[in-house]
Structure 1
Amino acid sequence: MRRVLFLLIFGLAGFGVLVALGSWQVQRLAWKEGVLADIDARISGAPSALPAHPDPVEDRYRPVALSGEVLPGEVHVLVSVKRVGPGYRIIAPFVTDGRRILVDRGFIRLEDRDTPRALGVMEVTGNLHWPQEIDNYTPEPDTKENIWFARDVPTLADELGTEPILLIARSATDPNITPLPVDSAGIPNDHLQYAVTWFGLAAVWAGMTGFFLWRTRARPESETA
């Protein structure tokens, strides 16, 4: 009887912990969906002027409309686009109201790297962003070949002599460049998977507890018989 009681308490405790973890992930899922909804609303909002001193946290995803001039001297950031394949993001210096910033003009295929692109006066609408794409496995840029592996805004700003401000275009700046606008699709939201995992483990735990209780009770009966 003591063994059965121990298994029952242990089983209920483990089941309760796993269910609590699953419930916590459900709460986190609701929170994350709210955050993503706020980000989507911010991204698609009415564009404003470029702030005097943009903040990487407060002004992330801020929609901005600019008039200015795209200058020569672009850099190529190696990327891969789903259902298209590898290519480059074109990052170029852009002068607006006496300020020089970075503009992510969009995507070109590998074979279009040397194709001339439109420069000069134009209007650009997009979103401010400071992507966090650097980790311990990111290669150093090959500046000789002008191949970069991440949009590290401060480093790109030093390379092109601009402020550390990146505008990701949502409007076309060249017929041969496909804009890659900012969206929330790349922001991880794995809480549903985690919740399913914890609830699944709780179900398995309950099943195993029931099996061991049955086996423990069945053994004395067989010994008595």
Structure 2
Amino acid sequence: MLCSLMLLSTAGFVALGLWQVERLSWKRDLIARVDQRVHAEPAPAPTGRAVHAADDEYRRVTATGTLQNDKETLVYASTELGPGFWVMTPLSLGDGQTVLINRGFVPTDRRDPQTRPSGQLSSQVTITGLMRITEPKGSLLQSNDPASGRWYSRDVAAIAAEKHVADAAEYFIDADNTPNPGGLPIGGLTRIVFPNNHLVYAITWFGLALMVAGLLAFVIRSEVRTHRPWQSSGRLPRQVVPARRACRDAAGR
């Protein structure tokens, strides 16, 4: 029973190690694709089609239109600049569609648009930034509360519904670091971090498999010695000795 359990454990650890090797290959490919996207020349933001994280997230795009500043939404943010808010503003495009723009970060004491009037642009603007996929429902710890104006994630559909934004695209755009008049909001703070610990995990699982396999070999060897003590001592069992003597006597006749 113990040996069977150890054998299954060894097989399981090997399978987990192989899975982490596959994940390592996938993660390296993802990092390479995203790095290529964020450094590519910007293309027009897509309209009238579905977007997918695997194909579209972090693509550099441009969008031209008019900001609907009266429908601005603040989303709680914690950045390298400290706590504050992301300023999410709908951008009306020329074809009638609307794209939600994360214009950037403002500190808590500048959350009121009246404290940053220069940044409330009314003329046509062109936004360059990275496509991002909607973040539904809220953060890991807190859910969005549209009724009270508390937002913890950039949920495109929920924000569009709460602000009565018509024909909103299902993605949003993180604006780049092009300065806004008055210095706020501060764009270009998109964090592109993909933890890649799969090699460490693979080595750990393979190491555990090797340890259990070694322990299994030790147990099997001990069991064999227990049932055959004469092999380790070099002496034959008592019942074998008379038989050998009889054989010698027969041969000497």
TM band (smaller chain): 0.7 to 0.9
Aligned partners of 2:144 and 2:150 also within 8 Å = no
Structure-2 separation of matches of 1:40 and 1:183:
12
The structure whose residues are more often helix, as a share, is 2
| Counterpart in the other structure of 2:237 | none
The 5-angstrom pairing of residues 47-58 of structure 1 reads 47-57=42-52, 58=55
Out of 76, 79, 89, the position equivalent to 2:77 is: 79
| Counterpart in the other structure of 1:89 | 86
| Counterpart in the other structure of 2:64 | 67
Give identity over the alignment, percent.
28
| Counterpart in the other structure of 2:39 | 44
Out of 124, 127, 138, the position equivalent to 2:127 is: 124
Q: CA deviation at 1:20?
A: 3.7
The 5-angstrom pairing of residues 1-225 of structure 1 reads 7=3, 11=6, 14-57=9-52, 58-72=55-69, 73-81=71-79, 83-99=80-96, 100-114=98-112, 115-117=115-117, 118=119, 119-121=121-123, 122-134=125-137, 138-144=142-148, 146-160=149-163, 161-162=165-166, 163-164=168-169, 165-172=171-178, 174=180, 175-182=183-190, 184-185=192-193, 187=194, 189-213=196-220, 215-216=222-223
Q: SS of the residue aligned with 1:178? A: coil
Task: Specify every segment of 5 or more residues in structure 1 that has no aligned partner in the other structure, as ranges.
Answer: none
Task: Specify every segment of 5 or more residues in structure 2 that has no aligned partner in the other structure, as ranges.
Answer: 234-253
In structure 2, do the counterparts of structure 1 residues 54 and 30 end up closer, same or farther at CA, with 3 Å as the change threshold? same
Task: Write out per-residue CA displacement over residues 162-201 of structure 1, whole angstroms, 9 at most, x where no aligned residue.
Answer: 413412111335212222454541x564533431331232
- Which structure has the larger Rg? 2
Pick which of 156-165 and 71-80 moved more. Answer: 156-165
Structure-2 separation of matches of 1:39 and 1:68:
27
Q: CA deviation at 1:89?
A: 0.8
Aligned-CA RMSD value: 3.3
In structure 2, do the counterparts of structure 1 residues 10 and 71 end up closer, same or farther at CA, with 3 Å as the change threshold? closer
Counterpart AA for 1:120 = S
Aligned partners of 1:124 and 1:171 also within 8 Å = no
Between the two proteins, the alignment pairs up a number of residues equal to 216
Query: Higher relative contact order by CA 8 Å / sep ≥ 6: 1 or 2?
Result: 1
Q: TM-score, normalised by structure 1?
A: 0.77
| Counterpart in the other structure of 2:247 | none
Structure-2 separation of matches of 1:89 and 1:191:
32
Q: CA deviation at 1:47?
A: 0.9
Counterpart AA for 1:151 = R
